[in-house]
């Protein structure tokens, strides 16, 4: 086994939906549990989550231990460090233009494809044990690039973003999109739902995988039917729901 898990781009090109969990709790045990439960991937949340770069490295190790693919939601400025610690994919929020998309793809790929800085001493290259041209090639082909569509501007530029080479998936962010559309937090507003449905259908007609967050998870059946293949839910919602159900069940015994 090499340090780097390079399955994601190939899986995103397939026909079967992939199911993942957003993990904003900086706990390797939670990541391991997601793997044991059978999720295809986890998204380690470095946009809203508290994890440092060092903690994120341990979360990626935990994912590798249970053979679940570690994607990191990361700000653009941190892409290089996230890839050097061994992420299998990056998921960048608030991507609004094709120019920004091209910049992110370039930052994710070694030359001559992109402009990622080369160092083979970090974890991704096995601390030098698996570095060199073979590692660069495997990284360029096997690191997933996922961009988040979360604003009216991004929807308006969706065709141009889809035309950028090197994108593996576009992920709709319903909550931010609802704010951008003037329906603050109301992800079920008809205008928001219509925008999401239209975007998923448009993305699904291309070679780029369509994805989104769904709470409740029952909505995944609908979006898989529309062509989405990169489907997630969120750990706090899952744990919170289980805790509420458990408390309700315990109190019902009185």
Residue 45 lies in a domain: yes
Residue 155 lies in a domain: yes
Q: Is 189 a catalytic residue?
A: no
Mind listing the pLDDT tens digit for each residue in 204-235?
Answer: 999 999 999 987 778 899 999 999 999 999 99
For residues 96 and 154, give the distance between their C-alpha atoms in angstroms, rounded to a whole number: 4
Residue 3 lies in a domain: no
Asked whether residue 190 carries a pLDDT value surpassing 80, the answer given is yes
Residue 158 lies in a domain: yes
Residue 32 lies in a domain: yes
Helix residue spans in 52-127 (DSSP H):
53-65, 79-84, 98-108
CATH no. for residue 85? 3.20.20.60
Mind listing the pLDDT tens digit for each residue in 100-116?
Answer: 999 999 999 999 999 99
Who wins on pLDDT, 79 or 214?
79
Mean pLDDT of the chain: 96
Give the per-residue pLDDT at 82: 98
Count of structural domains within the chain: 1
Residue 1 lies in a domain: no
pLDDT-based confidence at residue 1 (cuts at 50, 70, 90): low
SS3 content of the chain, % helix, strand, coil (to 5): 45, 15, 35
Give the per-residue pLDDT at 140: 98
Identify the residue whose tokens are 């199911």. 19
Check 36, 48, 58, 183 and give the catalytic one: 48
pLDDT > 70: percent of the chain: 99
Give the per-residue pLDDT at 215: 79
Mind listing the pLDDT tens digit for each residue in 22-77?
Answer: 999 999 999 999 999 999 999 999 999 999 999 999 999 999 999 999 999 999 99
**Structure tokens that stand for 178 in this block:** 């609802």
**Structure tokens that stand for 126 in this block:** 């096995």
DSSP string, 138-155: HHHHH-EEEEEE-SHHHH
Give the per-residue pLDDT at 159: 98
Give the per-residue pLDDT at 254: 67
Give the angle subtended at the CA of 45 by the CAs of 226 and 196, to the nearest 5°: 25
Residue 49 lies in a domain: yes
Residue 234 lies in a domain: yes
Task: Please give the residue range of the domain that contains residue 59.
Answer: 8-251
């Amino acid at each position: 086994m090499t340090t780097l898990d390079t399955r994601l781009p190939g899986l995103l090109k397939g026909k079967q939906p992939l199911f993942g969990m957003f993990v904003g709790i900086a706990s390797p045990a939670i990541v391991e549990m997601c793997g044991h439960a059978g999720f295809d991937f986890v998204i380690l949340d470095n946009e809203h989550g508290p994890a440092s770069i060092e903690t994120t490295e341990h979360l990626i190790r935990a994912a590798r231990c249970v053979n679940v693919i570690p994607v990191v939601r990361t700000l653009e400025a941190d892409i290089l460090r996230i890839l050097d610690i061994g992420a299998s994919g990056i998921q960048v929020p608030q991507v609004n233009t094709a120019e920004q998309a091209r910049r992110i793809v370039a930052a994710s790929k070694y030359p001559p494809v992109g402009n990622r800085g080369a160092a083979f001493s970090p974890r991704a290259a096995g601390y030098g044990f698996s570095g060199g041209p073979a590692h660069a090639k495997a990284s360029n082909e096997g690191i997933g690039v996922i961009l988040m569509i979360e604003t009216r501007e991004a929807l308006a530029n969706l065709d141009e973003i889809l035309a950028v080479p090197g994108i593996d998936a576009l992920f709709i962010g319903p909550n931010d999109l609802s704010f951008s559309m003037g329906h603050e937090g109301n992800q079920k507003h008809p205008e928001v739902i219509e925008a999401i449905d239209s975007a998923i259908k448009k993305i699904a007609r291309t070679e780029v995988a369509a994805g989104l967050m769904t709470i409740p998870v029952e909505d995944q059946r609908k979006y898989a039917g529309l062509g989405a293949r990169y489907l997630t839910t969120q750990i706090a919602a899952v744990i919170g729901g289980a805790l509420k159900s458990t408390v309700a069940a315990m109190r019902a015994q009185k």
